[in-house]
Chain A
């Protein structure tokens, strides 16, 4: 019964979205207030209906209602509760419902918190947002209905892919979708502004918090996915340049670019048409990401639900929305003349460099991801583009970005002097070079990647500190430092996070130690400074799996520091084995142990890795997200603050 109600609510939401995508738009064009304000209750009720539908699906998973097709295919009665819930979005249909739920959520948020927006702009934003919703409601209802019933319900389900039964991954998709779909808000604002025919500094301020929020969610989502890959896939890789990873990484790069260019719009009223274009393309890449995952066009680890028909539908959505927006852009872009005047060396020009590097690096990832398909269709060559390509084609952009960042961040608006900016950063530079040299001397003969990464990380971090300190004025004090606006702190923290992540990736790549051997129980062996002993191997039964679990004691200087339990698991229902690495997490390094097969002589294959700075990769991501949150907390962003005054003066209803 609840399932049918959910299905019905979804259909109702579809109709509400259809009306919402038309009525306020017409209202805005004709200046009919009644039609315009219709958008708000519509957006809110659309969200409530979708939330109810989603709740009904979660309920079906929680109660293991095996009369639903997707519950049978993705759940099992013995599965732990957390994974029953996360199973809701661990499949194609459910994840699309989550996607559209978030579209509706953002729409409702804009309706509730968008009090300060001019009524026509608000009506148009909500209409465009609803139009995106319509497309995805139709996609769900016509091609991938999560509420499909089976005529004969089986006794039990087929279980969720065991690789996905993991706390890190349970929350990876929701965050990623919040990010992807958050960019739809920037898109809606961009299209609404194009219809409106005008953008000004206030537009920049309105669109920035949404982009910032989307970027924060994307950062967290990508970090969770990468962390999961690190501990789950069994050799500690954290980034594979897989098409689907790229699909989430491209919107992240563009969202980062958009964040920065929107600052220029807000403060200096320049880069307007570029920012609009970026907002359209960024959401376009979110759609391309969805298309890549669902169409099966590019095979990858993540590709669930490879169905050409669905692929065509999403391609259709992509073409209509992005094609339409770009056409509108071509027609209206001239109307948005830049106002601000600035010198060749200025914060504005630095932000343009930032945008160039981020956008071109995104382009490189895009070309690399699509190239196997292009080469096969156009040149009849079947080839692969893998990690080695991206490492050598993408990394230079990040290095350039890292070198330019501290100088660009400290340049003043309008007109600056390169020499003066560089001079104020002299201590940061000297310290960073000294650290890199020190490490280079210590490591003798290893790849230069480590010292380069350390230099970049230190340069960015110290640069951010110098920048923050310089904000306190000529004779700065700690008190003033604490009273700086959230945006200043956010900038410093997020940039530091980027530096930390860069350093960590370089350090981990350069200084990792690996050991593979057959180990006899009870015989100690040495890896780096550690002595490990395999004490025992047991067979253990979990809730829905069997496990081969080893006890390995790690010692350093004769003192035990950790007991590790690497496992090999087998999920009989899903018929899939997994490896569970045991990791001793430490501040400076991880000790990463994996158990393999038993050999004929009774020994076990054990792989041991010492992974320096592994935690720093995600630590940096957390810092980046935290920086975003700090910026978001800046009271200047609270649009409602501006709204209080403006409602007093009132906007005449025409």
Chain B
């Protein structure tokens, strides 16, 4: 029984991410391959890049990337090759094309809006005269507020 469990256990052992036999001899190419791998999604995993994933498919993709680089592809060509086959879904960093522009610009646009609103609020605050300030609190409330704030 124990032996059976052991055999099962070895069979179920996961592969680690990048294996020594995958590593390219040329360190420059290998560096590029690693860079590209961190930007490609392991399609059967949950939000993992092929560089991190243990899945068989990730290993195939890692080998494919290296194959393309050894064949003389530039980084862009290698990525394009993979996107052509696996679709846009494989890219962890979405392109800036079409509707994705919205994704990339959402932050800057929001920052601009926030900056404009914040700026105009600040202007109105600093321009306001202190004199015309009506106090909405009654005297009792002011006294109590003072007590609380004093402590």
Contact = CB atoms under 8 A, between A and B. Distances in A.
Interface of A: 116, 198, 200-202, 205, 234-235, 237, 240-243, 270, 299-301, 303, 337-344, 348-349, 352-353, 356, 359-361, 363-364, 367-368, 371, 375, 378-379, 381-389, 392-393, 397, 516-518, 539, 546, 548, 568, 570, 572, 575-577, 579, 594, 596-597, 605, 607, 635-636, 638-639, 641-642, 645-646, 649
A605 B149 contact: no
Contacts of B88: 381-383
Q: Secondary structure of the A side of the interface?
A: mixed
A579 B151 contact: no
A607 B147 CA distance: 63
B92 A367 contact: no
A296 B107 CA distance: 26
Interface in B56-115: 87-94, 98-100, 103-104, 106-107, 110-111, 114-115
Contact of A642 (B100, B115, B151): B151
Given A234-B16, A383-B100, A539-B6, A356 B111 contact: yes
A384 B16 contact: no
A201 B135 CA distance: 13
Contacts of A576: 12
A455 B47 CA distance: 32
27 contacts: A116-B148, A200-B141, A202-B144, A202-B145, A242-B46, A270-B125, A341-B125, A343-B126, A344-B122, A353-B118, A364-B110, A367-B107, A379-B99, A381-B100, A382-B89, A385-B103, A387-B49, A389-B92, A516-B18, A516-B23, A518-B21, A546-B9, A576-B12, A579-B16, A607-B16, A636-B151, A646-B147
Contacts of B115: 356
Nearest to B136: A198
Contact of A237 (B20, B52, B145): B52
B92 A384 contact: yes
B133 to A, nearest CB: 6
A299 B89 CA distance: 14
Contacts of B39: 386, 388
B19 A516 contact: yes
Contacts of A539: 6
A368 B110 CA distance: 14
A386 B100 contact: no
Given A240-B47, A367-B106, A385-B94, A205 B122 contact: no
A504 B106 CA distance: 28
B28 interface: no
B93 A386 contact: yes
Contact of A389 (B13, B48, B93): B93
Interface string B1-22: 0000110110011111111110
Contacts of B8: 572
B3 to A, nearest CB: 12
Contacts of A359: 114
Contacts of A385: 92, 94, 103
B111 to A, nearest CB: 5
A389 B94 contact: yes
B12 A570 contact: yes
Contact of B149 (A201, A340, A570): A201
Contacts of B13: 548, 568, 570, 577, 597
Contacts of A383: 88-89, 91, 94, 100
Nearest to A575: B12
B47 A243 contact: yes
A605 B16 contact: yes
Contact of A597 (B16, B47, B110, B121): B16
A242 B48 CA distance: 9
Nearest to B150: A642
Given A381-B99, A388-B93, A546-B9, A363 B47 contact: no
Contact of A378 (B99, B104, B133): B99
A487 to B, nearest CB: 13
Given A235-B52, A381-B88, A646-B148, A546 B5 contact: yes
Given A546-B9, A642-B151, A375 B46 contact: no
Contacts of B18: 516
Contacts of A300: 46-47
Which 9 interchain pairs have the tightest Cβ spacing?
A386-B92, A388-B93, A642-B148, A364-B107, A570-B9, A596-B16, A379-B99, A641-B151, A367-B106
A234 B52 CA distance: 9
A179 to B, nearest CB: 23
Nearest to A414: B126
A200 B89 contact: no
Interface in B127-151: 128-130, 133, 135-137, 141, 144-145, 147-149, 151
Contacts of B103: 367-368, 371, 375, 385, 389
A319 B141 CA distance: 36
Given A243-B47, A301-B47, A360 B110 contact: yes
Contacts of B104: 393
B110 to A, nearest CB: 5
A344 B118 CA distance: 10
Given A205-B149, A300-B47, A387-B49, A360 B94 contact: no
A600 to B, nearest CB: 10
A641 B115 CA distance: 39
A475 B66 CA distance: 65
A166 B27 CA distance: 37
A298 B15 CA distance: 26
A86 B137 CA distance: 50
A627 B145 CA distance: 27
A344 B126 contact: yes
B100 A299 contact: no
